[in-house]
Each structure stands twice: as C-alpha cells, then as structure tokens.
Amino acid sequence: MTITDAPSADELRHHMADHLVRAGCIRSKPWRAAFLSVPRELFVPDFTIRTQGALHRYSQGDPAWLAAAYQDVSLLTQFDQAGTATSSSTQPSLMAQMLEALDVQDGDTVLEVGAGTGYNAALLSHRLGAGHVVTVDVDPDLVAAARTRLRAAGYEPTLVAGDGMAGHPERAPYDRLLATCGVPRIPAPWLGQLRPGGVIVANIGCAIARLVRGDDHSAAGRFLPGLATFMNARPTADTVGASAGKLVKPMLTWTGHTRDITVPAGLDTPGPLFLASMLQPTVRDFTLTDDDGRQIRCLFEPNTSSWARVTMTGVTSARLDYGGPRDLWAEREPLLAHWRDAGRPGHERYGLTVAWDGVHTLWLDEPEGVSWHLPG
Ligand SMILES: C[S@@+](CC[C@H](N)C(=O)[O-])C[C@H]1O[C@@H](n2cnc3c(N)ncnc32)[C@H](O)[C@@H]1O
C-alpha cells in the first residue's frame, strides 16, 4: 500500500493555473501569476458545490475542503430563504476568461460589481495593485467578510457596500468595469463612469458581453465564446426570488389563449437560447414533463406573470397556450425566424450596441447590418 500525502495548497494552485492555461482561459503571464499567488481557500471557508443537482457542503477543516476549493467550479457561499444561491466564488475558468477579456494595462483602475467573496478583487489587486481596484457588493455582510479576507491575503482595495447598478462615481472615471452578477441591461451609470476607450465585461442574458466605450457615451462590442449565466443583480441583499420549482405545478395546468405555431428546429441550441435571453432577460425558460411524459417548454415572466407553454405536435409544429399581459412567444417569433433564415448563426456572430440614452441594439455580424432594438 502506498501512502500519498494530500496535495498542498501551493500544489493545488499550480494545478489549477496549469489547467486554466491548457484550457486557453489564462492567456497571459500576469494573470497566470495572479492565479498562482492568490490563495482561493482564504476566501471560501464554507461553501457548497452543486453536482448533478445534488449539493455538497464543505467547511474549513474537512479533509476534502482544500482540494474542493481548487476545483474549477462555482463555490456557492450564500443562499436566500428560498434556497436560491445569492453569492459564490465564480468558476475560475470563467473568471480567467473575463479577466483576460478586460485587457487591462498597468496603471488601469477597475470597478468590479459583485465583490462576493473578494477572491476576484484579490486577483485584480495582484495584477494592478489594490489602489487601482474598487469593488461593490449589495450585501454589507459580504463586503465586511471580503474586507477581512482580502486584508488577510495582503490586499486592501476599496470595498463599497451598495447597489453596483449605480457604479461608484466617487472613483470614476474607470478604465475597466467587470460585473460578476448578471444584468438585464447595461446600467447607464456604468457608461457614464467609464472613460472613452474603456472596456465593460458583463453578463447579459446567458452571454458575456465585452463592450468598448465610444466618445459619445455609447458602447459596442461582441460576446465571449462560451455561454454563461451569473446570479442576477438584486435590488436588495435579502431579495427572495421565486424559483422555477415553485412554478412547476401551475405551469402545466394554467388555461389561457391557444394557437398553433411553427417552431424552428434547433430551438434548444445555444443560438436561440442566447437570442431569447437577450430579448427577454427576465423570462424564465424551462422544460417540464407532463403526466403523459411529454416535454413541455415553459416560459414565465415574473414581473407581469405572463406565461407560455409550447407542446410539440409534430417535428416543427406545436400548440401554444399562453396568458398574461405579454404574449411571450409572439415577442420572440420574429427574432427566431430571422435566426433560422440566416442559417442558424451562433451567438458569437451577434454584437451589442448600447447608446448614450440606454437603448440596446443587437446586431448580426456588423453594427450596420440587420439589427433589433431590445426592449428596456
Ligand atoms: C457571483 S457572485 C460574485 C463573485 C465575486 N466576484 C467573487 O470573486 O467571489 C455575485 C455577487 O453579486 C452581488 N450582487 C448582486 N446584486 C448586486 C448589486 N445590485 N450590486 C452589487 N453587487 C450585487 C451578490 O451579492 C454576489 O455577491
């Protein structure tokens, strides 16, 4: 029998950094150095990992805790009363891609929205110096804990408790803005607090936008390669969201209007999922199985309680049941039809322009090409 020592934190950090380099997520020496230097475990004394729907809890001192802290997964660190995760340390491969996409230069000042555990702020502080990092979280308790842990790691960036949708004007203008919570639309203060030529990297819908600010307070750009969804920005620290699970029963029984529709093939591929999330960022999209074993696609918009249910009746034909003030399916139909007719482009062929007045325009291939105004 051979007895092998458990890997040290140093070894685990090297292993994680090597993995991120091999996966193409870390592309530069300074970010590799940051991931090699900052101890992730310091920021996550307690966390939960979700694997195939099951939750596994780890606490400092558990034999498996240290190795788990270096897995390339999101470490959930806070839940609301409904059991929805409200804070986490983001999956390192996603963090690395977003940090690389920021394309920071020495001397840049970065505003991070969503301080969470403070780990990302520590990586930014390692790269740029803590004096160049401002990080905001809506939850004052998280901010206090992040401050303590950042200090223990040797970093003292500016930590702010407040609504990151308002940015942090006191330190503006910023060279870069990184949001690690999802937003339905880019908040106007972010554009106002970014210098011309500055870069925003933020999750909208199920994609990560990388936008460059123009001279006129507008910003435009494309999306990072993979699709990813962060936890949504919340109005307050104690918001309790209705989980899709609570909608399961009513969604299959509600009655409303009915009509026959044609559904483009490939609806569950990344392209349509991306388009739907951009057009209707507050709509929850999920599939349920009815009593007859049929897969029913369900849409639900919590602000207006609008809903839609799509039951396939053929390869591309379906019955639509819907109710509420918004006809959710009709809203997405033109965009999906265009996507089908355009040869089913992936999300990387689309781009986004946010005008100075907050109007969001999605375009295909070129800003001057086919475009759609996204409702506010
Ligand atoms: C995925 S976590 C952030 C991960 C963090 N960057 C880290 O390295 O640990 C998302 C965070 O966004 C915060 N958040 C949600 N709504 C917010 C808002 N309106 N303003 C600022 N932060 C917000 C949450 O409290 C949560 O901590």
Select from 182, 351, 154 the least CA-distant residue to 282. 182
Cα–Cα dist 300/73, whole Å: 28
Model confidence over 173-201: pLDDT tens digits? 999 999 999 999 999 999 999 999 999 99
Contact indicator for 242, 298 with CB cutoff of 8 Å: no
Distance from residue 207's CA to the centre of ligand 1 (Å): 17
The whole-number pLDDT of residue 96 equals 98
**Which structure tokens are listed for 73?**
């997964």
Q: What are phi and psi of 213, to 5 degrees?
A: -75, 135
Ligand 1 neighbour 203 (Cβ under 6 A): no
Q: What is the pLDDT of residue 52?
A: 86
Specify which residues 203 forms β-bridges with. 208
Q: Are 267 and 217 in contact (CB under 8 A)?
A: no
Q: Which residue's CA is minimally distant from atom 3 of ligand 1?
A: 116
**Protein residue closest via CA to atom 12 of ligand 1:** 114
Q: pTM for the whole thing? A: 0.94
Q: Is 97 in the pocket of ligand 1 (CB under 6 A)?
A: no
Question: Token pair of 334, please?
Answer: 């033109």
Q: Mean pLDDT for each consecutive 10-residue tract of the chain (376 residues)?
A: 75 98 98 98 98 93 96 96 91 98 98 98 98 98 98 98 98 98 96 98 96 96 93 69 59 92 87 94 88 90 92 93 96 93 94 96 94 93
φ, ψ at 227 (rounded to 5°): -95, 145
Which of 234, 239, 240 maximizes ligand 1 atoms within 8 Å of its Cβ, making it the mutation to test the pocket?
234
Residue 28 backbone phi and psi in degrees, to 5:
-140, 155
Q: How far is the CA of 181 from the centre of ligand 1 (A)?
A: 5
231 alpha carbon to ligand 1 midpoint, in Å?
8
Question: Using a 6 Å cutoff on CB, does residue 116 contact ligand 1?
Answer: yes
Helix, strand or coil for residue 85?
strand
Q: Which residue has the CA at smallest separation from atom 4 of ligand 1?
A: 116
Looking from the CA of residue 234, the nearest atom of ligand 1 is 16
Listed residue (252, 306, 257) closest to 284, CA to CA: 306
At 240 the pLDDT is 44
- Residue where the block lists tokens 């309790």: 240
Where do we find the tokens 């942090």?
A: 168
* Residue located nearest, by CA, to atom 5 of ligand 1: 116
- At 159 the pLDDT is 98
CA of 73 to the centre of ligand 1 (A): 16
220 in Cβ contact with 212 (< 8 Å) = yes
Instruction: Give the Cβ contact number of residue 305 at 10 Å.
Output: 12
Query: Could you tell me the distance, in angstroms and rounded to a whole number, from the CA of residue 232 to the centre of ligand 1?
Result: 8
Task: Identify which of 75, 95, 117, 137 to mutate to test ligand 1's pocket (most ligand atoms within 8 A of the CB).
Answer: 137
Going from the Cα of 63 to the center of ligand 1, the distance in angstroms, rounded, reads 28
Tell me which DSSP letter residue 185 carries: S
Listed in sequence order, the residues at least 6 apart from 146 whose beta carbon sits closer than 8 Å to its beta carbon are 43, 115, 116, 117, 118, 121, 135, 137, 159
Quote the ligand 1 centre to 115 CA distance (angstroms): 5
How much distance in Å is there from the Cα of 309 to the middle of ligand 1? 32
For strands 158-161 and 133-137, give the pairing: parallel
